[in-house]
Every structure is written in structure tokens, then in C-alpha cells.
Amino acid sequence: MNMKKLILILAAFALAFPLIGAKLQVVTTYPYIAGLTEQVGGDRVDVRALAGGQWDPHTIMAKPSFIAKLRRADLLIINGAQLEIGWLPPLLNQASNPKVNVGARGLLDLSRSVKMLDVPDNVSRAHGDIHPDGNPHYYLDPHNMLPLAEAIAAKLSELDGTGVQAYRKNLADFRVQWNAKLEEWDRRLADLKGAMVIEYHQNYDYLLRRYGIELLGTIELLPGIPPTSRHIQELEAKIDNASVRFILQDVYNPDEASRHIATKHHIRLIKLPHDIGAVREADGLFSLFEEIIRRLTHD
Amino acid sequence: MKIKFLPSILLFGALAVAVPLTGGEGTGNPFAQAKFVPDISLILDSSFVIRDLEDPWFSDLFLPGFSHAGPGVRALELDEANVGKGFNLNYAELSLASVVDPYFDLFAVFHLSPEGFEIEEAYFSTRRLPAGLQIKGGKFLSQFGRINGQHSHYWDFGSPPLVQSAFFGGGGLAELGLRLSWVAPLNIFLQFAVEILQGHNEMSFGHQGFDAGGISIATVDGPGLVVATVKSSFDLGNLTVLAGISSASGKSRWPADLENDNGASAFAGTAAVFGADITFKYLFDSIRYLSLQTEVMGRTSRGDRYGLEVVNGWSVCEQRSRQEGFYSQAVARLNKRLRFGARLDLIWKNDLSFAGMTQALPKNLMRYTAMGEWNPTEFSRLRLQYTYDRSRYEESGGIWRQRPVHELTLQVNITIGAHGAHAF
Ligand SMILES: [Zn+2]
């Protein structure tokens, strides 16, 4: 065997095998969590998100490659509140990684760090594929990012004691930058207080409530159930008696019904990213919210 | 493993005890256990079948050569669901799952049907083994190939592929035993697994001994079956590829009531089934996908054939078989509610020999299936399926005659309880 061949084989192995280093291997379910973890973890962590930001977070395809990622994780950070219920549990079982299995120290559920809205008193699927632990789309309120970052910093410090100083510093830096942004975003969204909107799915409720924006109704009939023509008629009747500013549409649900209503009632239709990677401009944590706010305030 | 009604009564009795406990908290019961009730779900599967052949005739048809004994396997033994014309209650599937403690998870799936109570699966799996290892123990669906490990309500069609039911029966390879699997620490998914199983599968790996004219063939003491699988998967953008190879080999017994069943024969020997599968799934967006799936399977067996013939009396001779086939399917999801699919089944090789003499068996057993699904939500499904089946034969006096069957099935599948996550 000549030298060239040997080098090629070694290179192939190096590509196939992960680099075993001192870095903490963090897997997150969604890209926004990866973005946040990079802010806090800096260069002490290797972060990978399982789901792509362009996909519907409720129904991510459970790819076997996710098992390979989960198998090697030191820490798994999830959104929680049952957003991952339809795809993550069997992958976790198959990965059988004692570090990140349910109950292990290396599993962090971020929904425990924020106050959940709309926790139903009683649950029935007659109301659609509802979220029994409350609306899980809490991360689309930019003010919720700070408690989430704190939870991640605390967990990283717990698992990687030698990095405590670094995580503390990264968190402090992030807090300063984020607070500056929050001030700006709060100012820009203040004008929308009292405005009336329609959403496709209750994706942006936390954002709407933070800024006093009112929700008239959803395009979908019930959570996860596509609109019927009768439901659209009822929604249109409500529109006639209200002054609706926007229709908020995510990137993954069909937008025919939203477009129909927007044209017919001369309402602006805004496509909002729901995660990093959902639209080209939202390529990081700051730009995700920057883009949401730009699209909401741009006339 | 079909038992009559007593266990089901016991099971429902146990649930009836569990349910009042869930009301405990509000009334301040200090011993309330509600939070420990496992994830429970119930799936109902029923159908309406239209077929161009009366039930008694249909159940007399054979899949030629697919048994170690007799002329073939009666159609009825291959089918677990949608058997009769008109309404069918295929099953009510009760499943329970929970974390046991820091070390184990437990899963159990019970099939309740008019025929009785069946433990489809009841197994534990480990949660703390290091280095990507996992052990599963109990009764479980073997991970052989692509289809076998999936419960029937996850299938894309209302019937199993022809090779699957020909080699493993309508209920698949569900066995008692242990499974050890290892996921390699790579960026792509690569998993190796070995299963040591009891070997009770009636189609390929029976264990029951029998008597043949004063010769007594002993029952196989378990475990009598070993399954090994290698699976790998990787993503290329929005395309996911999953491929695997599997083998199952073990001892084989096919008993028959030789004294009373004229023309039947019994078999004792060994059998091996080999499988290779590949799936391509391309996601267009969060909702729409196209998936192509193919599985090739082959079986070889050799051993002794025991028969009782009117003229010659008892006979023993060497029996060998070699059978190969595949299925290929395409399934497209068009929106949240609609899915369409088509499947081609073919068994192209069907060689059987007694004492070196090749038996004249039909080859190229074929079946065409097409389906359309309407899913109001993830919890309810209506499926219309058309099958043109050219794999079933009538036999008389050693002459095989094909009997094509047209079948239309409307199937309803409804789930309540815990949210089942979808495997790939
Ligand atoms: Zn939701």
C-alpha cells in the first residue's frame, strides 16, 4: 500500500469518526436552541441541531441519522412542553445514551425555565392536536431568551465544571447585547400595541401578548387541523367587524387560505420565520428576531 | 400465542382498578398513584372487504410451496387482517409503555381480536448501558428487514408484503428472546444487532416435534433461531437513505397430522432467511414527501420430509427448498390528509425438491396493490386499497391452477390515548 492510499484512508476515517476532543458535545432539537447554546457555550462546546429551521417543529421526520447524533451527545437540550412528542421519544430510546436519556443530568428541558401560557384545564383531542402542557412556542417572545440562556449556562456549568468562568462571562456578554436589542425591539414594536392580527397556528402568541397585539383567530380550524371553508367563512365574518392589521403565516403551512383572505379583505400577509433557517435572512439568533421585527414593522 | 378470554378479562380488570386511582388527587388521596400510570393507547383497526371470490373458496387457495410441508400454505394462514368479505374487526391493540426505573423501559402491546388475546410484544429495554449498547428482552418483533419491526398500523398498506407473509406469516417474526444492539460512534447511522430467539415462527422456524410412523422427531429446545442485522442511514440534503441487510437462521420443524391429513407431509431440518432492504425518502417540505422502499428476501431450507402415502405407506426423504422474492413500493404524501401508494410483490424463485426430484411448483407469484388514504388527523385514518392478487392457487391432484383475486378494502384505523411517535 502506498503512502497516498494510506492518507486517503486515514482522511476517510477522520471524516467518518467525530473528532474526539475535550469539547462538550451538545445536541439540541431545534436550531434556535443551538444558536442560544453557542452564545453561552462559546468555543467550549460543539453544538448540533437535529431539526432544520424550515420544517414544521411539531412533525419533524424522525431520521435515523438523529440516533447517531444522540448516541454521542453529552447534553441534549429540548424545547419541551410536548413540542417534540411526535418524533423524539423513539429516537432517544434507540440511541440509548445514558447521558441524555429521560431522567439523566444531560437532558435539559427549556420549557421549565419560562412561564407557559394557555395551559388547558382539561384536554381533549376534540379540540385538535392540542398542547397539553400549554403553548410550546414560548421562545418566539425575545424576552424569554434570557431565562433560557441562564438555564443553559447553569446546565453547562454543572456538566463542565472547569468552564464555569467562561460560561458566566459568555452569559454576561450575551445579556448585555440582548438587553440592548430588547430595548430597540420593544421601542419598534410599541406602535403595534392594540393592533389586531390573525395567525395560521398559534405560533406567535407569546410575541403578540408581550407587545399587546390582539389575536382575532387562527386560519387553521383547530391546532394541527387544516381550515375548512366553513371555518374561513366564520373567520371572514369576524374580520368584517374588526380592523385586522396583519395575517401572520409561518413558512411551513400551506398559505392558500391566508392569501385568499389577505387579497379579499386587503389585509397585509406577513410570512414570519419561526426559527433560525426558516427564511434566508434569519441565519442566527439575533437575525431571527431582527427579521421577525423587521417584517412586522416594515411598511 | 393466542389464549382465550380469561387474560383479557384480567387485563381490563387491572385497568378498571387503575382508572379510579387517577381521580385520587383532587380528593386529597395521600396514596394517589395517578402520576405513575403508564402511557396507554388503544388502536382500533377494522375493515370492509369486497372480493370476487366467496370466503370458503378464498380460504382454500394456496401460496404454492410456502411451507415445509404439504402442497402449500392456505391463504387464511397468511392473512391476519381483512380476512372475510364484509365487515372485519381486525384488532383492538392496547399498548402500555413506561420508564421502569433508571435502568429499564417496559413496552407491552396486546392484540385483542375475536379470535382471542395475543401478546404481540412485551419486552424491556435497557437505558443505562454504555458505549451505544442496548439489550432488549422478552417477546418482541424482530428487527429483521424493514417491515418486520413495524406494527401493522405503521405500514403503508393494509396487508404485509407477500415475501414477509410467505416467510414469516401474517403476524411476522415476533419471538421470545434477547436482542443486543450497538450503534457505532459515527456521524452516519450504523447499527449492528444480534437476536437470540426461541424460534416459534410457524412459517420458517417451527419447534414442535411430531411422530411419523414410529419415528419420533423431538421438539426443538429453545433458543433455536439467530437473527443478525446491519442497518445504516445517512442524509443527502432533503433525501434520507436507509439500508440494511438481515439474516435469520435456525432449526425448523413443521409438524402435520400425517395420519389424518391426506397428502400432508412433515419436515424437520434447518432454514435460513436472508434479506436486504433500502428506503429512499425525499422531503419536499414539512408535509409532502415521496418514499421508495424495496426489500428482497430469500429462504433456503434443508432437512427430512416425512410423509404417509396411501400406496407406499411411510416415507422419509431429503427435502430442499430455495425461494426468493421482493416487493417494491412508492408512497407519496400530498398534504396533511392525503397519501397514495402502489406496491408490486413478486416471488420469482420457488424451488422445492424431494430426494433430489424437483417438484413442479408455480414461479413468478405476483401481486399488485394500490392504496389511497385520507387522514382527518394523525389519530384517525381511512384507507381504500385495491389488490390484484395473482399469487394464490388451487391445487388438485398435483396440478396447480392460478386463481386471480380482485379485492377492495376500506380500512379504518383509530387511535386514542398516548401520542405515538412516528418511527422513520
Ligand atoms: Zn403548536
How far is CA B281 from each of CA B135, B161, B285, B291, B292, rounded to the nearest angstrom? Answer: 29, 19, 12, 4, 6
Across the interface, of B105, B186, B286, the residue whose CB is closest to A59 is: B286
What's the pTM? Answer: 0.87
Which pLDDT does position B61 carry in this prediction?
85
pLDDT score of B23: 44
Query: Are residues A192 and A63 located together in one domain of the fold?
Result: no
C-beta atoms of B185 and A103 within 8 A = no
% residues pLDDT > 70 (chain B) = 90
- How many whole angstroms separate alpha carbon B133 and alpha carbon B156? 30
Angle, helices A31-41/A164-189, rounded to nearest 10 degrees: 130
- Same domain for A169 and A51: yes
3-state DSSP assignment of residue A16: helix
| Last-in-domain residue among A183, A202, A223 | A183
Residue B35 near chain A (CB below 8 Å): no
- Please check whether residues A204 and A159 belong to one and the same domain: no
Same domain, A23 and A107: yes
Query: Chain B contacts of A226, Cβ < 8 Å?
Result: 335-337
Query: Is B209 exposed, middle or buried, given 0-12, 13-18 or 19+ CB atoms closer than 10 A?
Result: middle
What's the grid cell of residue B392?
Answer: 394464490
pLDDT digits (tens, 9 = 90+) for B361-393: 888 999 999 999 999 988 899 999 999 999 998
Considering the domain architecture, whether residues A268 and A212 belong to the same structural domain is answered as yes
Please list every residue in chain B whose beta carbon sits closer than 8 Å to the beta carbon of residue A68. Answer: 183-184, 186-190
* B residues 403..422 contacting A (CB < 8 A): 416, 419, 421-422
Between CA A256 and CA A279 the distance in angstroms is 19
Statement to judge: residues A105 and A146 lie in one domain? yes
| Run of H or E residues at A286 | helix A285-297
Q: Is residue A51 in a domain?
A: yes
| Judgement on whether residues A121 and A166 belong to the same structural domain of the protein | yes
A4 found inside a domain:
no
**What's the pLDDT band for B92 if we cut at 50, 70, 90?**
very high
User: Is residue B1 pLDDT above 60, yes or no?
Assistant: no
Q: Is A5 inside a domain boundary?
A: no
Residue A40 sits in the same domain as residue A114: yes
**Cell numbers at residue B261, please?**
391429513
CA dist A227 and B158 (Å) reads 28
According to DSSP, the β-strands at A268-271 and A244-249 are parallel
Distance A201 CA to ligand 1 centre (A): 7
Domain identity same for A97 and A177: yes
CATH superfamily of B36-417: Porin (2.40.160.10)
Q: Is residue A111 part of a domain?
A: yes
What is the total count of domains within chain A? 2
CB A134 within 8 A of CB A6: no
Q: Is residue A3 part of a domain?
A: no
Judged by CB atoms within 8 Å, which residues 76-105 of B form the interface with A?
A: 99, 102, 105
Answer yes or no: do B185 and A72 touch at CB < 8 A: yes
Q: Which of A156, A183, A210 is the last residue of a domain?
A: A183
> pLDDT, tens digit, for every residue of B330-340?
999 998 899 99
Same-domain status, A38 and A140:
yes
Does residue A120 lie within any of the structural domains?
yes
Q: Is residue A2 part of a domain?
A: no
Which of A221-235, B7-21, B75-89 ranks highest by mean pLDDT? A221-235
Q: pLDDT at position B216, please?
A: 85
- Of residues B5 and B103, which shows the higher confidence score? B103
CATH of residue A48: 3.40.50.1980
A7 belongs to a structural domain:
no
Question: Mind telling me how many Å the CA of B135 is from chain A's nearest CA?
Answer: 10
Put simply, the answer to whether B240 touches A17 (Cβ < 8 Å) is: no
Q: How far is the CA of A125 from the centre of ligand 1 (A)?
A: 14
Which among A65, A125, A253 has CB closest to B188? A65
Question: What are the chain A neighbours of B283 within 8 Å (beta carbons)?
Answer: 55, 61
pLDDT tens sequence across B104-114: 999 999 998 88
Q: Which domain holds residue A38?
A: 13-183
- Looking at the fold, whether A112 and A219 belong to one and the same domain comes out as no
Query: Which of A252-266, B4-18, B173-187, B254-268 comes out lowest in average pLDDT?
Result: B4-18
DSSP B20-48: HHTTTTTTT-TT--GGGPPEEEEEEEEEE
**Strand boundaries in B224-379, DSSP class E:** 225-236, 239-254, 265-283, 289-309, 313-333, 338-354, 357-358, 365-377
Q: What confidence score (pLDDT) does residue A177 get?
A: 95
Final residue belonging to a domain, choices A183, A211, A227? A183
Q: Does B213 score more than 70 pLDDT?
A: yes
A30 and A135 co-located in one domain: yes
Contact B422, A86 (CB under 8 A): yes
* Among candidates A90, A93, A129 on the partner chain, residue whose Cβ is nearest the Cβ of B378: A129
User: A76 alpha carbon to ligand 1 midpoint, in Å?
Assistant: 21
CA separation for the pair A251, A237 (Å, rounded):
26
Predicted confidence at residue B110, as pLDDT, reads 93
CA A156 to chain CA centroid, Å, is 20
pLDDT in tens, chain A (299 residues): 465 665 565 555 554 444 455 799 999 999 999 999 999 999 999 999 999 999 999 989 999 999 999 999 999 999 999 999 989 999 999 999 999 998 899 999 999 999 888 887 776 777 676 677 889 999 999 999 999 999 999 999 999 999 999 999 999 999 999 999 999 999 999 999 999 999 999 999 999 999 999 999 999 988 888 899 999 999 999 888 888 899 999 999 999 999 999 999 999 999 999 999 999 999 999 999 999 999 999 85
Helix (H, G, I), strand (E, B) or coil at A152: helix
